[in-house]
Amino acid sequence: MTELKDTAFDAAAFLARAGLGRRIVQLKPKQAFFSQGNPADSVFYLQKGRAKLTVVSKNGKEATITLLATGDFVGEESISGVAGLRLATATAMTSCTALKIDRDEMIRVMHEEHDFSDLFLKFLLARSMRTQADLVDQLFNSSEKRLARILLLMAEFGKAGEPETLIPKITQETLAEMIGTTRSRVSFFMNRFRKLGFIEYNGRIRVHKSLLNVVLHD
């Protein structure tokens, strides 16, 4: 019994260090984890840093799908059925540390270790709920509310622990892509938020909790 306890699988330890079929990688800001069209041969676990997932259309237009934070997986499409190609590009927004897990090792640990598969399933469900919330946001909320929500999500308000009020560098063009509006409208709303004391920015954006008023106000 003691021996079984000593060899029990530890999901946190598995994701914290390199091993068979997995290695730790360091990325600089603007460096890609993988690019659209690359072979989907691995999953990344973001140990530290912030990143974004983008797609490029056939006519060259780029759109930001989602933002990624510490504790997120990215590249999970590599374990869905037959290995194919990446459908998007994952890029570091800050200096990042990530665990790169080979496809075969990810599939093995998913099948053999229930603690890990439970953890991964919780992540997938949380991402699915976030995607649904993003869709509702696009369909029913004004662009001003959508911008406020994105800034709050980047500052991690609503998550356990203290929020990161100083968010990673992000351009107004990227914010405009994410909320489906123009850069000039983003600039207008940002100036308004600043005048109302909801945010501060001088190169980096500092988000105050009072910005929630924009999201909650009908």
Query: Are 51 and 157 found together in one domain?
Result: no
Query: Are 43 and 17 found together in one domain?
Result: yes
116 pLDDT band, cuts 50/70/90, is very high
Average model confidence (pLDDT) for the chain?
88
Q: Domain end: 87, 105, 134, which one?
A: 134
Query: Are 56 and 155 found together in one domain?
Result: no
187: number of CA atoms within 13 Å, CB side?
4
Query: Are 92 and 180 found together in one domain?
Result: no
Query: Are 113 and 33 found together in one domain?
Result: yes
Tokens standing for residue 197:
């004391």
Nearest-angstrom CA–CA distance, 41 and 129: 26
Query: Are 198 and 109 found together in one domain?
Result: no
2 pLDDT band, cuts 50/70/90, is very low
Identify the domain containing residue 125 by its residue range.
2-134
Tell me which residue has tokens 């730790």. Answer: 24
Nearest-angstrom CA–CA distance, 112 and 83: 20
**pLDDT confidence of residue 164:** 65
Q: How many CB atoms lie within 10 A of CB 125?
A: 10
Q: Which amino acid is at 55?
A: V
Beta-carbon contacts of 184 under 8 Å, excluding residues fewer than 6 positions away, are: none
Query: Are 7 and 92 found together in one domain?
Result: yes
**pLDDT confidence of residue 158:** 56
Q: Domain end: 134, 162, 191, which one?
A: 134
Query: Are 49 and 154 found together in one domain?
Result: no
Query: Are 125 and 189 found together in one domain?
Result: no
Residue 179: phi and psi, rounded to 5, are -105, 0
Q: Domain end: 112, 134, 156, which one?
A: 134
57-97: per-residue pLDDT in tens?
A: 888 888 888 889 999 999 999 998 777 899 999 999 999 99
Query: Are 149 and 195 found together in one domain?
Result: yes
What is this structure's pTM? 0.79
Query: Are 125 and 159 found together in one domain?
Result: no
Query: Are 27 and 128 found together in one domain?
Result: yes
For residue 88, the domain's CATH number is: 2.60.120.10
Nearest alpha-carbon partner for 69 in 167, 137, 210, 136: 167
3 pLDDT band, cuts 50/70/90, is very low
Q: Which amino acid is at 87?
A: L
Q: How many domains does the chain have?
A: 2
